[in-house]
Structure 1
Amino acid sequence: MPDIARLSPRQKTLALITLVIALVLEIVDMTIVNTALPAIKASLGANSQASQWIVAGYSLAFALLLMAGGRLGDSFGYRRMFLWGVIGFTLASAACGLATTGTQLVGARLLQGAAGAVMAPQAMALVQVLFDPLERVSRMAMFGIIGGLASIAGPILGGILIEANLFDLGWRVVFLINLPVGLGAVIAGLVFLPEARSGRPAGYDLTGMALFGLAMAALFWPLIGAGEAGRGAGHFITMLAVPPLVWAGWRHVARRVDRGQSALFDPALFAIPTFRKGLALSITFSALTAGFLLVFAFALQAERGQSPLFTGLLHMPYGFGAMFGIGVMSRSYLPRFGRLVPVVGASMMVPACAGVLYGSTVGQWPWALVGALLVMTGAGMGMTVGCIGPIAVSKVDRDHAGSASAMMKTTQQLGSALGVALIGSLYFAVSVRPALAGLAAIELLLLACIVMAFNLPSRMFDAD
């Protein structure tokens, strides 16, 4: 086990590469399944509810356990929990690849998300341990770039693997490919990662986790698959439990904070207007982007008859646009123009998303035109999502930086699950031109994002 004080620059680089491998593993598996979903649905005979849970279950489990995963690392050591997270993720991936029913695959995906929630926070914590503050700037920027590339690579890799049909495994290979990668990450972690833990472990708030977890389950269970035939009003009765559970959870964490005990989050953060509005914008925007990518990948294959490989490759223009929007537009113009950058970005997506989904299905436009619109869609997405994080934490005290960042990540994952639930249910419920039904929901959410962004303060980055 390496001693942090004695690590050479080369050893630190090898440790960083180990963490990057795990980061890519976690992010790719969020998006790789979109391309594979039609093949999975056909192979396992999964209904629309199971299909949505296969996508949303991962994000939901990840979101609900993310804060707990960070606290496990504080208490038991970042290296140890990182290794356990990678092992759990690898075993869950094997279970996904061996699943014979939709229910089995949903269960395995929930385990994947839970293991990812243990693994991911330790990578961020170990970067803090390995590098001094100045070094962290470039390392964290690299994590952001690689994370963006990994999310783009997921659908592309899924299409390539299904088309290659390695060992006649079909869609299963998109999960089984994680086994050698996970094994390599475990070995590298044992060799290169130092042991470290927080000097002041944060403790646990199991009751808070349970209350908010039950609230999310009561919300998502009826929403996912809501469009299936035979669903009456009784199917949505669990949603009545959401408000009292959220209220009880809020009261609980507020009391713990008042008593100086560890809590799931600090309610005082929500008194900061930019943070409160940034979270609302984050969850809404994450919902529409996740819904868009799900409908786009499924509709290309189910409505336009394209192969998984072509579907994956068509995500590349979107990815290039997103990289430009995040790396150039939002970074360059957010300090100068503030809220106008996400307003313009979301506004660009309104006609671009409409053109992509209509043109690639009903209109059957030339692929070159669809690709150009995908670049515009990605650029608008990057301009918006690249601003949400900095805006939300712009007025957050540094003492709350860690919990604020964790809450941002949690709302992004919850938003993704919500988008799959709402937009996916609408898509699968409509038999005639379902992509246009999904598009209607996407456009409404985009308009809501424009309004939210416009209601942000006009000047957010002035010195206090």
Structure 2
Amino acid sequence: MTSAEAMTVRQKFLALLTLVIALVLEIVDLTIVNTALPAIKASIGADASASQWIVAGYSLAFALLLMAGGRMGDSFGYRRLFLIGVAGFTVSSVLCGLAQSGEQLVTARLLQGATGALMAPQSMALLQVLFDPLERVSKLALFGVIGGLASIAGPIIGGLLIKADLFGLGWRLVFLINVPVGILAMAMARAYLPATRSDRHSGYDSPGMVLFGAAVAALLWPLIGAEGEQADPAAFLVLLACPPLAWLGWRHVAARTRAGMPALFDPAIFAIPTYRLGLAMSVAFGAASAGFLLVFAFALQAQRGQTPLVTGLLHMPFGFGAMFGIGVLSRKLLPALGKWLPLGGALLMAASATLVLVATARPDWPLWTIAPAMVAAGIGMGMTTGCIGPITFAQMDRAHAGAASGLMKTCQQLGSALGVALAGSAYFAWGQWLGVPPAEMAAAVIALILLACAAFALRLPDGIFDSAH
């Protein structure tokens, strides 16, 4: 396949299916590890620090290299970087499955996150290349539905694989199951993905990658390690380094762009209101979603005594609501309602998520009565997240597809880390300090973040899909 313009409808469908397989690979691997962590600790004796970094190391490496992965796709070809990323992800999954110590597994997870960062931005970039802005609404809705199913299935599949203990492999199957999926994705990518790249300047921007990578690390490292119980002066100093590093990175890419040299991204893309506000919504919504799911899962187990498998199953109403919000409401109503749809979704999720967390923490509240509120929270989630992608890229020039996609993925990761840090601190520490029940304190923080997301949506222009590229 050589040209997106020359592809038939059937060929585009097969290309889309290839990207969906990679999406499942990415999301399932992110969520399945949480279920396997106790078994991993028991098997290879990973200490508390290693256990934390088995989960967090993937996210950190992923976030650090997303912008670089997106820009490299622009420069060297989206299919080529996709293939390299999937191949690396598959190999690192084998290394995870063969690890004999906590240190080996953490190293393999870092490699898995790094190669995932090469793979993930190419999916969004290829969606922009393959489909027009309004077509992307339905395609991104499909991504949302599949992503929702994958996030629900991850913990359940993990529990089932560990319980089945096929060939005596136990938790190792959680990683080794990626191998056949990765091989299938590579075969389909070679057959069906177009060999295309940006028509802008080729090459890459190593200093820009280093500066922005350091800024992301300075922000994420303290947030990922935040326990919410006591302040770490060293972490605070690292956090203070983030703004100056980001400022230096911005000046660097601006200077290279003015000089006509390859840059990590073109600062001019931030002049597009839909893109700028879409990124802000991504951060806020990512923070609210990650914080809500963290507190809900912890409260179910710590305050209700539920098992991990039951906890995973109790997420299903939320997931089904999210799929309805993405696959039906966002896909059908976004072109007509525009910014009012994500605004309404954020407000609906704020109200229903608050009800869920308050009810979950009260033992006298039957769990089955929480299900309707979980469905409503999921619908609100779907109405919002199903709109953010199409809105963010509605007026983006396809020549910036890779860099713009990498920036959006980075914002989503930043939001998730921020949400875990804020909601976790509210639940474990702030509520106690202020004399507020932990779940209610966390619910208030999450609701405020969702109100910020609604405020960003309100500032979106009318006619979002006008002058689209």
Regarding TM over 0.5, the answer is yes
Deviation at 1:366, TM superposition (A): 2.4
Alignment of 1:217-228 (within 5 A): 217-227=217-227
2:69 aligned with 1:69: yes
- Residue pair 1:71, 1:202 contacting (<8 A) in 2 also: no
- Which residue of the partner structure matches residue 452 of structure 1? 456
Give the aligned partner of residue 386 of structure 1: 386
Partner of 1:196: 195
Equivalence for 1:411: 411
**Residue identity opposite 1:445 in structure 2:** I
Q: What do residues 343-396 of structure 1 show as CA deviations (whole Å, max 9, x unaligned)? A: 321222223222323333433532322222211110011111122233334454
Closer, same or farther: CA 410–28 of 1 in aligned 2, 3 Å: same
Q: CA–CA distance in 2 between the matches of 1:445 and 1:427?
A: 15
Q: Partners of 1:101 and 1:318 in 2: how far apart? A: 36
* 2:227 maps to amino acid: G
Determine if contact 1:339/1:453 at 8 Å carries over to the other structure: yes
Out of 419-428 and 272-281, give the one that drifted further: 419-428
Alignment of 1:439 with 2:443, yes or no, is yes
SS at structure 1 position matched to 2:260: coil
Return closer, same or farther for 1:225/1:427 CA change in 2, 3 Å cut-off: farther
**Aligned pairs (5 A) from 1:70-109:** 70-99=70-99, 102-109=102-109
Equivalent residue number for residue 338 of structure 1: 338
Mapped to 1, the partners of 2:150 and 2:224 lie a distance apart of: 26
Counterpart amino acid of 1:149? L
Deviates more, 1:174-183 or 1:214-223: 174-183
Deviation for aligned residue 1:426: 5.1
**Distance across 2 between alignment mates of 1:102 and 1:358:** 37
Q: 1:159 & 1:430 partners in 2: Cα distance?
A: 33
What secondary structure sits across from 1:331 in the alignment? helix
Contact 1:60/1:417, CA 8 A, preserved across alignment: no
Which string of whole-angstrom CA distances, capped at 9 and with x for unpartnered residues, describes residues 142-169 of structure 1? 4454334323332332333344444455
Give the conservation status (yes or no) of the 8 Å contact 2:73–2:402.
no
**Aligned partners of 2:207, 2:90: CA distance in 1, in Å?**
29
What are the residue-to-residue correspondences of 1:160-199 with 2, within 5 Å? 160-167=160-167, 169-186=169-186, 192-193=191-192, 196-198=195-197
Matches within 5 A, 1:135-284: 142-167=142-167, 169-186=169-186, 192-193=191-192, 196-198=195-197, 200=199, 202-227=202-227, 231-284=231-284
Q: Can you list the C-alpha shifts for 1:278-332, whole angstroms capped at 9, x where unaligned?
A: 2112101101212222333344334433233222222221111111112232334
Matches of residues 348-367 of structure 1 in structure 2 within 5 Å? 348-363=348-363, 365-367=365-367
1:218-244 CA distances to partner (integer Å, 9 max, x unpaired)?
122222333366644343111221121
- Determine the C-alpha separation between the residues in 1 that align with 2:295 and 2:170: 22
Counterpart AA for 2:153: A
| Native 8 Å contact 2:22 2:86 kept in 1 | yes
- 1:297 maps to 2:297: yes
Q: CA separation of 1:102/1:442 partners in 2, compared to 1, >3 Å: closer, same or farther?
A: farther
Give 1:178 shift: 1.5
The CA RMSD over aligned residues, in Å, is 3.7
How far the C-alpha of 1:10 sits from its partner, in A, is 7.6
Q: Tell me, in whole angstroms, the C-alpha distance in 2 between the residues paired with 1:29 and 1:458.
A: 37
- Residue 111 (structure 2) aligns with: 111
**Partners of 1:425 and 1:228 in 2: how far apart?**
4
Range with bigger deviation, 444-453 or 391-400: 391-400
Distance 1:135 1:338, change over 3 A: closer
* Alignment CA distance shift 1:80-1:461 (3 Å): closer
The 1-side partners of 2:266 and 2:319 are apart by 35
Three-state SS of the structure 2 residue aligned to 1:182 is helix
Distance 2:7 2:100 in 1: 46
* 1:210 positional shift: 0.6
Residue 427 of structure 1 and its aligned partner are, at CA, apart by: 4.8
Q: Is the 2:25–2:178 contact (alpha carbons within 8 Å) kept by the matching residues of 1?
A: yes
Structure 1: runs of 5 or more not aligned: none
| 1:227-269 CA distance string (max 9 Å, x none) | 3666443431112211211110010011011111221122122
Encode CA deviations 1:105-145: one digit per residue, 9 max, x unaligned.
4433222121112223444566778x686997676664454
CA distance in 1, matches of 2:323, 2:148: 7
**Cα distance change, pair 152–186 in 1 and its aligned pair in 2 (3 A):** same
Q: 1:369 to 1:37 in 2, by over 3 A?
A: farther
Distance 1:339 1:134 in 2: 15
TM-score after normalising by structure 2: 0.82
Task: Show CA shifts across 1:29-71 (max 9, x none).
Answer: 2222344455556765543x65554444333322332333244
1:373 alignment partner, SS class: helix
* Contact persistence 2:68–2:406 (CA under 8 A): no
C-alpha separation in 1, matches of 2:215 and 2:76: 28
> In the alignment, residue 196 of structure 1 is paired with which amino acid?
A
Contact 2:140/2:389 (CA < 8 Å) preserved in 1?
Answer: no
Letter in 2 for 1:155: P
Matched with 1:313 is 313
The 2-side partners of 1:155 and 1:257 are apart by 44
Contact 2:144 2:323 in 1 (8 A): no
Taking a change above 3 Å as real, the CA distance of residues 302 and 74 of structure 1, as seen in their structure-2 partners, is same
How many residue pairs align between the two structures?
459
Q: Greater CA deviation, 89-98 or 3-12?
A: 3-12
Q: Shift of residue 80 of structure 1?
A: 4.3
Query: In 2, distance between residues paired with 1:171 and 1:429?
Result: 33
Are 1:423 and 2:423 an aligned pair?
yes
Contact 2:395 2:465 in 1 (8 A): no
1:38 and 1:302 in contact (8 A); partners too: no
Asked whether the 8 Å contact 2:279–2:408 carries over to 1, the reply is yes
TM-score when normalising by structure 1: 0.83
Name the aligned partner's letter for residue 65 of structure 2.
Answer: L
